[in-house]
Chain A
Amino acid sequence: MNLLLLLILPLISAVAVLVTTTHKQSRTIAAVGSALQLLLCFFLLNQFLDAEKIAGEKVFQFTQHLPWFPSLGIHFDLGVDGISLAMILLTAVVVFAGVLVSFTMEKLHKEFYFLLLLLSLGAYGFFISLDVFAMFFFLEVAVIPKFLLIGIWGSGPKQNSAMKLAIMLMGGSALILVGLLGLYFFSNETGDRTFNLEVLSQFPISYATQLVFFPFLFVGFGVFTALFPFHSWVPDGHSSAPTAASMFLAGISMKLGAYGCLRVATYLMPDAAVYYAPIIILLATIAIFYGAFATLTQTDLKYINAYSSISHCGFVILGIGMLNDIAIRGAIMQMVSHGLMTALFFAAIGMMYQRTHTRLVAQLGGLLKVMPFISAIFIVAGLCSLGLPGFSGFVSEMTIFVGAWSNPNVWYRVATILSCASIVITAVYILRAAGSSVMGPVVNKNYLHLEDATWNEKLAAMVLLAGIVLIGMAPFLLTDLLSPGTEVLLGKITNTL
């Protein structure tokens, strides 16, 4: 299959949205476009599994090599392996659900869907690129739509949140820029220079170069995935964003950073990754704890989910920092799982907010009686977040812990135990939020004649829920998909250990 379809389809649907006149037309086109994306991604999965059987050693499938700036060694190289495919599927599901829950968008609907589809284009481009320059390009393509989505359609202090998010993400990009140039000029000082990921991974990059430029790349990508202490854009950005944008931000955007940390920083500079691993683990543990404790004090449902996202993405970083096969597989599973779970959470919060016009836990209550469907998915998302067996959260966190524990170093063990302990805190805030906002008597009489979810909202929730349950019940589907990719990622690290 030609991977360019993944870029062309969102582009066509985004442009098609612009020529519509009524809201109904634009949302239909956006919904159809994103549904087609989803179908395309499943078709891609099918083709990928077929191709993998006959491919043998080759990890990246459907590779293509398109010249872009050939004299600088910049090409648009495409290809997917199991890891990027999992991310692409996640993107398709979240975007589809995101479009479905925004059917009631009132102002500037055309621009909204246009930007949302553009955002998905950036994410697809990032995941299918095998050229670091192209990855960087697509990573930044997503910044402007995020800024506008939050600033125009958001709620609360939306402008400040949008500025904060955009500037912090640009800061991350600036660090990545320095790291990329270091990689470009010092990876192969005598021969041809390149940004190609596979070629770069063959070059012996000197230890000193790795030690200097690894932090730039890792922290730069880390800003996107709320690496402590660069997490402060997350709560404001997520909370001010409109529902679909929150879903995208937490569900996919944060994964872009983690994927970059893994695919670019760790893969290309394994020696430095080993050297810096204790610091990464320290930062991850702080993020896990800090996020969890900060959530305890929040009263706004969106802030609760945003801070818990910091904590959950801390697990991803922790898994990457552990640098072993199981932990990294767990980290990727956590990326997928958190993407689906947090999107579902934000979708449920968005539906509640749209009806009750409040997100404060204290003003909600008894919603289960009024809108059973929305409340049910809210509770399910919460349970997945706290790691209940049967849902994806449990499987992925468990995998990370198993991988982390296999490292006999005392410091790593301590970090693992502390991170495990944070799950208790997660349980506290999730159960408290779910208990007081959904259970109990109806606190506000106005809530009594609110309606439950419409068909499109139900469909969106069911799609996300299906993913969560599928991974929870049959995790081997995902791990089988990921393991060839993670083996390659770790191939160079086991050599250095």
Chain B
Amino acid sequence: MEIEILLALNQEWLLCLSIFLLLILFLTIENINQTLIAHTIHALLLVQVLFIWAEPKQVTVFNGMYTTNGLIQFQKSLLSLGFLLISALSLNWLKNCKSIIEFYILLLSSLLGMYFMLSASHMLMFYLGLEMATIPLAAAANLDIEKRKSGEAAMKLIYSSAFSSAILLMGISLIYGACGSLHFAEISNNLVQNNLSIFGFIMLFSGFAFKISAVPFHLWTADVYEGAPLPITAFLSVVSKMAVSFVFIKILFQVFVSLEVIYTISLSVLSILTMVVGNLFAIRQENMKRFLAFSSITQVAYILIALMGLQGMAQGAIIYFLLIYLFSTVAAFGVIGIVSEAYNKENISDYKGFYAQNKFLSWTLAIALFSLAGVPPTAGFFGKFFLVMAGASKGYFILIIIAALNMIISFYYYLRIVRYMFMEEATESLQKISVQPVSKLALIICLLGMVCLGLYGPVYEYILTFSNTL
């Protein structure tokens, strides 16, 4: 039994080990070499990413509360990949950061929480994982201690997540009342459509909507994204969002199959609201981080559309999309982080004439934005196309038309930034920014991901091989 646990939880053990090591380092050594620590963690995360190629195994431990299989292993590796790229791109920020060890301890704990959340097959385990993923992030949002906005962001994050957790818990307990069990498999067996279960489901659903910041549960997003330090913002919008989306797929398709009518209605209402509101707010943003916050809200809407489709197609399309979203968003945040470290500027209008001095960074940001907008040849096009295609697989064409119209609006605000970078004259002379080699490597990996993932079909086919597992 013990060995079995040891083997099943290998990814989690590795994280725990490194968190403990960091703690010991923190308590014992006074003058730490920040670059060395960062690179050690990168190596560790790289190992986690390499688990993509590990032999997939099907294990259930802790009385069926924890399961793992090939799909979950793959998803965990994707989360690590996201964190690895974010961390590599934030090297400039980390060097000036006084609390680099806290940064890694907090984010690694959050990642550990996500791992447990992904592997959960019991509502309690899921809830534990979710809380463990969120609370360290609220602390990390406050890492820019001298900035007031950072503290505000942390408070907003902790309040809103506490609120959403409360709703989620209420939903879970109602569902327990309706089904008499918290095991996913048993809930899905016992669940029938009645008022109690619908009420419970809606509560649970709202909790999820908070976490993936779907409108009207999005209000915390922009403020938190703006106030938190950039690496944390990137982590929130990439890793955290990916983890919750993965679990959302699992819970909808595995646990609440019998409530399909209800969840389809909820999803369609939420997705339309999210698209329209997210888009309209994104147009008006002047701060780059707030802009990306609303853009990421809009991206969620397309995921919600795909969730309405057939399971196999939807799951494949969403994981594929999130992989592309990871590269695009990390690249965008990476460039913005490098620029704001160098110029100390975060507004969209500060990017006027940016291309003249910083060609590589401009092209990277432009391609990332094109990928987010879903324009070929970037992979974002394929990601969006397959999401919409999955949504259409059950025939919700009205939604597809609304989504298509929203894509046009979103195209406008992504192009606006490209226009500033490439076509406007700079208002003041900008310096050429020197990029750290590791950050440059991370950006190149993102670029490769954004360009090649779509053109090279087998990646999608590989993801689709998991489509029958949940």
Chain A binder among B50-58, B251-259, B384-392: B384-392
Check B375 against A140 for contact (C-beta < 8 Å): yes
Q: How far is the CA of A181 from the CA of B422 in the complex (A)?
A: 34
Chain A binder among B119-127, B339-347, B396-404, B434-442: B396-404
Check B389 against A181 for contact (C-beta < 8 Å): yes
Check B457 against A151 for contact (C-beta < 8 Å): no
Residues A167 and B377 in contact in the complex (CB < 8 Å), given A159-B419, A178-B401, A181-B388 = no
Chain A binder among B99-107, B241-249, B406-414: B406-414
Q: Does B216 lie at the interface of the complex (its beta carbon under 8 Å from any beta carbon of A)?
A: no
Residues A152 and B422 in contact in the complex (CB < 8 Å), given A167-B412, A177-B404 = yes
Partner among B381, B408, B457 whose Cβ is within 8 Å of the Cβ of A171:
B408
Chain B interface, >50% SS class? helix
Q: Does A315 lie at the interface of the complex (its beta carbon under 8 Å from any beta carbon of B)?
A: no
Q: Which of A278-295 contact B (CB under 8 A)?
A: none
Closest to B407 in A: A174
For B375, list chain A residues within 8 Å (CB).
Answer: 140, 143-144, 170
Q: How far is the CA of A151 from the CA of B417 in the complex (A)?
A: 13
For A70, list chain B residues within 8 Å (CB).
Answer: 457, 461
For B404, list chain A residues within 8 Å (CB).
Answer: 174-175, 177-178
Residues A170 and B464 in contact in the complex (CB < 8 Å), given A140-B375, A151-B422, A159-B423 = no
Write the A44-69 contact mask toward B (1 if CB under 8 angstroms, else 0).
Answer: 00000000000000000000000111
Closest to B416 in A: A163
For A159, list chain B residues within 8 Å (CB).
Answer: 419, 423-424
For A19, list chain B residues within 8 Å (CB).
Answer: none
For A332, list chain B residues within 8 Å (CB).
Answer: none
Q: Does A22 lie at the interface of the complex (its beta carbon under 8 Å from any beta carbon of B)?
A: no
Check B411 against A181 for contact (C-beta < 8 Å): no
Check A67 against B419 for contact (C-beta < 8 Å): no
Closest to A175 in B: B404
A153 nearest CB across to chain B (Å): 10
For A69, list chain B residues within 8 Å (CB).
Answer: 457, 460-461
Partner among B370, B393, B419 whose Cβ is within 8 Å of the Cβ of A162:
B419
Closest to A172 in B: B408
Q: Does B395 lie at the interface of the complex (its beta carbon under 8 Å from any beta carbon of A)?
A: yes
Check A162 against B392 for contact (C-beta < 8 Å): no
Write the A152-165 contact mask toward B (1 if CB under 8 angstroms, else 0).
Answer: 10000011001100
Q: Which of B404, B407, B424 is most buried by chain A, counting CB atoms within 10 A of its CB?
A: B404
Write the A317-347 contact mask toward B (1 if CB under 8 angstroms, else 0).
Answer: 0000000000000000000000000000000
Write the A350-382 contact mask toward B (1 if CB under 8 angstroms, else 0).
Answer: 000000000000000000000000000000000
Q: Which of B337-383 contact A (CB under 8 A)?
A: 370, 375-377, 381
Check A71 against B464 for contact (C-beta < 8 Å): yes
A141 nearest CB across to chain B (Å): 5
Check A148 against B422 for contact (C-beta < 8 Å): yes
Partner among A170, A175, A182 whose Cβ is within 8 Å of the Cβ of B411:
A170
Residues A68 and B408 in contact in the complex (CB < 8 Å), given A162-B423, A178-B397 = no
For A133, list chain B residues within 8 Å (CB).
Answer: 385
Check B415 against A137 for contact (C-beta < 8 Å): no
Check B457 against A68 for contact (C-beta < 8 Å): yes
Residues A72 and B386 in contact in the complex (CB < 8 Å), given A166-B411, A167-B408 = yes
Q: Does B405 lie at the interface of the complex (its beta carbon under 8 Å from any beta carbon of A)?
A: yes
Q: How far is the CA of A151 from the CA of B397 in the complex (A)?
A: 35
Q: Does A184 lie at the interface of the complex (its beta carbon under 8 Å from any beta carbon of B)?
A: yes
For B460, list chain A residues within 8 Å (CB).
Answer: 69, 71-72
Q: How far is the CA of A279 from the CA of B370 in the complex (A)?
A: 35
A115 nearest CB across to chain B (Å): 11
Q: Does A185 lie at the interface of the complex (its beta carbon under 8 Å from any beta carbon of B)?
A: yes
Write the A247-290 contact mask toward B (1 if CB under 8 angstroms, else 0).
Answer: 00000000000000000000000000000000000000000000
Residues A151 and B423 in contact in the complex (CB < 8 Å), given A71-B461, A171-B408, A177-B385 = yes
Q: Does A233 lie at the interface of the complex (its beta carbon under 8 Å from any beta carbon of B)?
A: no
Check A141 against B376 for contact (C-beta < 8 Å): yes
Q: How far is the CA of A141 from the CA of B392 in the complex (A)?
A: 24
Closest to B404 in A: A174
For A158, list chain B residues within 8 Å (CB).
Answer: 423
Q: Which of A165-204 contact B (CB under 8 A)?
A: 166-167, 170-171, 174-175, 177-178, 181-182, 184-185
For B405, list chain A residues within 8 Å (CB).
Answer: 174
Residues A184 and B419 in contact in the complex (CB < 8 Å), given A170-B408, A178-B401 = no
Q: Which of A72, A140, A151 is most buried by chain B, counting CB atoms within 10 A of its CB?
A: A72
Q: How far is the CA of A174 from the CA of B408 in the complex (A)?
A: 7
A87 nearest CB across to chain B (Å): 20
Closest to A158 in B: B423
Q: Does A147 lie at the interface of the complex (its beta carbon under 8 Å from any beta carbon of B)?
A: yes
A171 nearest CB across to chain B (Å): 5
Residues A152 and B464 in contact in the complex (CB < 8 Å), given A72-B386, A144-B375 = no
Q: Which of A137, A140, A170, A185 is most buried by chain B, counting CB atoms within 10 A of its CB?
A: A170
Check A72 against B408 for contact (C-beta < 8 Å): no
For A143, list chain B residues within 8 Å (CB).
Answer: 375
Q: How far is the CA of A167 from the CA of B395 in the complex (A)?
A: 27
Q: How far is the CA of A344 from the CA of B422 in the complex (A)?
A: 29
For B419, list chain A residues within 8 Å (CB).
Answer: 151, 159, 162-163
Partner among A67, A162, A170, A177 whose Cβ is within 8 Å of the Cβ of B457:
A67
Partner among B377, B397, B408, B416 whose Cβ is within 8 Å of the Cβ of A182:
B397
Q: How far is the CA of A130 from the CA of B464 in the complex (A)?
A: 25
Check B393 against A185 for contact (C-beta < 8 Å): yes
Q: How far is the CA of A147 from the CA of B370 in the complex (A)?
A: 12
Check B412 against A184 for contact (C-beta < 8 Å): no
For A162, list chain B residues within 8 Å (CB).
Answer: 419, 423
Closest to B460 in A: A69
B298 nearest CB across to chain A (Å): 15
Q: How far is the CA of A147 from the CA of B375 in the complex (A)?
A: 12
Check A178 against B400 for contact (C-beta < 8 Å): yes
Check B388 against A163 for contact (C-beta < 8 Å): no
Q: How far is the CA of A68 from the CA of B389 in the complex (A)?
A: 16
A177 nearest CB across to chain B (Å): 5
B153 nearest CB across to chain A (Å): 33
Q: How far is the CA of A166 from the CA of B375 in the complex (A)?
A: 11
Check A152 against B408 for contact (C-beta < 8 Å): no
Residues A170 and B407 in contact in the complex (CB < 8 Å), given A68-B457, A71-B461, A144-B375 = yes
Q: How far is the CA of A177 from the CA of B100 in the complex (A)?
A: 47
For B395, list chain A residues within 8 Å (CB).
Answer: 185
Closest to A67 in B: B457
A179 nearest CB across to chain B (Å): 10
Check A144 against B457 for contact (C-beta < 8 Å): no
Closest to B386 in A: A72
Check A144 against B370 for contact (C-beta < 8 Å): yes
Closest to B409 in A: A167
Q: Which of B370, B376, B422, B464 is most buried by chain A, counting CB atoms within 10 A of its CB?
A: B376
Check A72 against B381 for contact (C-beta < 8 Å): no
Q: How far is the CA of A357 from the CA of B419 in the complex (A)?
A: 25
Check A185 against B415 for contact (C-beta < 8 Å): no
Q: Which of A123-143 contact B (CB under 8 A)?
A: 133, 137-138, 140-141, 143
Q: How far is the CA of A137 from the CA of B39 in the complex (A)?
A: 40
For B386, list chain A residues within 8 Å (CB).
Answer: 72
A150 nearest CB across to chain B (Å): 9
Residues A140 and B388 in contact in the complex (CB < 8 Å), given A162-B419, A170-B407, A178-B404 = no
For B389, list chain A residues within 8 Å (CB).
Answer: 72, 181, 184
Q: Which 4 pairs from chain A and chain B are nearest by CB?
A: A174-B404, A151-B423, A68-B457, A181-B392
Q: A147-B415, A174-B408 are in contact. List 12 more A-B contacts (CB 8 A).
A: A69-B461, A70-B461, A71-B461, A137-B381, A138-B376, A148-B418, A162-B419, A177-B388, A177-B407, A178-B400, A182-B397, A184-B389
Residues of A within 8 A of B (CB): 67-72, 74, 133, 137-138, 140-141, 143-144, 147-148, 151-152, 158-159, 162-163, 166-167, 170-171, 174-175, 177-178, 181-182, 184-185
12 examples of A-B residue contacts, CB within 8 angstroms = A70-B461, A71-B461, A137-B376, A137-B377, A140-B381, A147-B415, A148-B418, A151-B423, A152-B423, A159-B423, A166-B411, A184-B389
